[in-house]
Amino acid sequence: MSTSAYKILITEPIPQKTISFLEDFGKVVVGEKGAYQSEDRLIEDISQYHALLCMLSTPVTEQVLKHGDNLEIVANFAVGYDNINVEAAHEMGIKVANTPDVLTEACGDYAMGLLLALSRKFKEAEQYLRDGKFKGWEPLGFLGMELRGRTLGIIGMGRIGQAFANRAKAFGMNIIYHNRTPVDRDIEQQLDATYISDHKELAKKCDVLSLNCPLTDETHHLVDQELLAIMKDHALLVNISRGAVIDEEALAEALHQKAIAGAALDVFEEEPKVHPELLSAPNTLLLPHIASATHKTREAIGQLAAEAIVAVLQGKPNHEIPNLISR
């Protein structure tokens, strides 16, 4: 097929550089902002396309894939790909790509930023000032948790978990982590990180719990009532992975009852909906899924996803496309 005959759907506006790159290769259609967040519209349209560049909010279900008569590749504009039924795609011979590595540093910075903002009560203190309540320096105002010497427990010590650990170490924190398997010894040494085989044991020990794992059947609602009850009452929770790793109902209750001291959440189980009890919870930072949101990173994400699309449509072998998700 001549390249111009390829049709590529980008489900919503992304950096122009990526769109232009793909336009050199085929006919590109870009959905409007927020488009394709439901299965129905994708099911209607997908049969026309050879490649889909989708967002983490695009539900690429088995039904969608079944309608992809011409579909050769689904490239996610994200590192997490729980929105795609990868198994079904592979069964149908459709390749799937994600965007590892390029967002690691932006996400590491962001997790550290969330922790600093949460532990030092930036949000409440700023609101206090804006409300005209700042009447002079207060020796007992907005006292927070100092990070040096505290223990950060990371669940999911992949690239992003390591990037956060690296920054937290520079702030004098002790690092413990839980993962399916321990990371290489040299990485542990570099981060001064200790492996804890039981995630409940880790939750018991840490002052800050950070979720950096993918959403899978095993990690769904991993942070539940039982785990929250184990945590220290001064502990803080940071989540930049996926909302459904937390049972939000249980978390809201723990926050309202001060069973833990606060949470910084970038992700939610039913984005863009936020559990109403989280909206009213004390010491809670709620952000609209922006961990990778820097100009540089979003351009790099687009480029990596687009390169996988071009490589697949050009018929390159899988081993030459590093960001293809393997079977």
Q: Which range touches ligand DGY (CB under 6 A), out of 89-97, 147-155, 287-295, 311-319? A: 287-295
99: number of Cβ within 10 Å: 25
Q: Which is nearer to ligand DGY, 78 or 260 (CB)?
A: 78
79 binds ligand DGY per the rule CB under 6 A: yes
**DSSP assigned state of 79:** S
Active-site residue, selected from the candidate residues 23, 39, 271, 277: 271
Q: Is 242 a catalytic residue?
A: yes
Quickly list DSSP for 187-239: HHHHHTEEE-S-HHHHHHH-SEEEE-PPP-TTTTT-B-HHHHHHS-TT-EEEE
Q: Which of residues 129-168 bind ligand DGY (CB under 6 A)?
A: none
Q: Which of residues 289-318 bind ligand DGY (CB under 6 A)?
A: 289, 291-292
Q: Which range touches ligand DGY (CB under 6 A), out of 76-84, 133-141, 215-223, 311-319? A: 76-84
Q: Which is nearer to ligand DGY, 199 or 289 (CB)?
A: 289
Specify whether the CB–CB gap between 220 and 246 falls below 8 A.
no
265 binds ligand DGY per the rule CB under 6 A: no
Q: Is 271 a catalytic residue?
A: yes
Which residue type sits at 42?
L
Smallest gap from Cβ 322 to ligand DGY, in A, equals: 16
Q: How far is CA 151 from CA 169, 196, 234, in A?
A: 10, 13, 12
Cα–Cα distance measured from residue 66 to residue 69, given in angstroms and rounded to the nearest whole number: 7
Q: Which is nearer to ligand DGY, 125 or 293 (CB)?
A: 293
| CA angle, residues 206, 207, 213, in degrees to nearest 5 | 60
| CA angle, residues 122, 126, 129, in degrees to nearest 5 | 145
56 binds ligand DGY per the rule CB under 6 A: yes
Q: Which is nearer to ligand DGY, 151 or 219 (CB)?
A: 219
Q: Which is nearer to ligand DGY, 79 or 211 (CB)?
A: 79
Cα–Cα distance measured from residue 25 to residue 27, given in angstroms and rounded to the nearest whole number: 7
Q: Is 289 a catalytic residue?
A: yes
- Member of 23, 37, 48, 80 binding ligand DGY (CB under 6 A): 80
Active-site residue, selected from the candidate residues 150, 178, 199, 242: 242
Specify whether the CB–CB gap between 13 and 298 falls below 8 A.
no
96 binds ligand DGY per the rule CB under 6 A: no
114 binds ligand DGY per the rule CB under 6 A: no
| Contacts with ligand DGY, residue ranges (CB under 6 A) | 56, 78-80, 103, 289, 291-292
